[in-house]
Amino acid sequence: MSKLIAPSILAADFANLQRDIEMVNNSEADWFHIDIMDGVFVPNISFGMPVLEAINRHAGKVIDVHLMITQPERYIETFANLGTDNLTVHYEACTHLHRTLQTIKNANMRTGVALNPHTNVSLLEDVITDIDLVCIMSVNPGFGGQSFIENTYKKTHQLKEIILDNNATTQIQIDGGVTDKNAKQLIDAGADVLVAGSYVFKSANPSETIKHLKEIANA
């Protein structure tokens, strides 16, 4: 199965959002990764529903929403109505994760769970067959442009083992500090989807950079 690239819109130029969305539409990227931050779960605020609604009007690929908010269960229906395909909540933000996952499923979205760098992958063992996508945070969530945490390789490998042991079909996504320098090692450790923000959007030719990453991931 081919490995996927998900440019993170957080690093786009919000004054030229339509241009950047079209760039992703016309590139070899697979998903739009969209970071929603509430200023409580993480020490930053990104953007909310009106912006997601505008993105969805132009985006021609899978909408992958990463919620960095407390009590994400409050907004599951809202995100479904905004055209979200994958809805990822943080493990650390969910008291009743199993229930939250069922609610996401019942709203006809794919289920995602994100893990902060300190959260052990083994904590997902009892719900792994209910998760379509695990997002391993390879930086502390809240900001783009941070440097990659090396322990991520080990976590990715451990999670892959859990997925295989449980005959699950869960995809592994890596989010934060992804570049052409770590992409191959992440894929070799078991990653299926690479999120890349700054590396793509701050490059001279974002479309070429996506292509380059896609080639490395599928080499």
CA-CA distance, 35 to 48, in Å (whole number)? 9
- The answer to whether 92 and 59 have CB atoms below 8 angstroms apart is no
**CA separation for the pair 53, 109 (Å, rounded):** 16
Binding residue count for Zn ion, defined by CB under 5 A: 3
Q: What are the residue ranges of helices labelled H in 60-111? A: 76-81, 97-106
Q: Which of 20, 37, 55, 66 binds Zn ion (CB under 5 A)?
A: 66
By CB under 6 A, the residues from 163 to 182 that bind ligand DX5 are 175-178
Residues 100-139 touching ligand DX5, rule: CB under 6 A, are 139
From candidates 30, 64, 130, 175, binder to Zn ion by CB under 5 A: 175
Contact between residue 148 and residue 182 where contact means Cβ atoms under 8 Å apart: yes
Q: Is residue 43 close enough to count as binding ligand DX5 by CB under 6 A?
A: no
Q: How far apart are CA 29 and CA 39, in angstroms?
A: 29
**Is residue 37 within 8 Å of residue 51, measured between CB atoms?**
no
Q: Would residue 35 show up in a list of annotated catalytic residues for this protein?
A: yes
- Distance in Å, CB of 206 to ligand DX5, minimum: 12
SS3 155: helix
Please report whether residue 64 would count as binding Zn ion according to CB under 5 A. Answer: no
Told to check if 35 binds Zn ion by CB under 5 A, we report: yes
Catalytic residue among 30, 38, 132, 175: 175
Should residue 142 be labelled a site residue for ligand DX5 when binding is judged by CB under 6 A?
yes
Count of residues that interact with ligand DX5, criterion CB under 6 A: 22
Does 32 engage in binding with ligand DX5 (CB under 6 A)? no
Q: What are the phi and psi torsion angles at 94 (to 5°)?
A: -120, 115
Which residues are part of the catalytic machinery?
35, 175
Question: Which residues would be at the binding site for ligand DX5 (CB under 6 A)?
Answer: 8, 10-11, 33, 35, 66, 139, 141-146, 175-178, 195-199
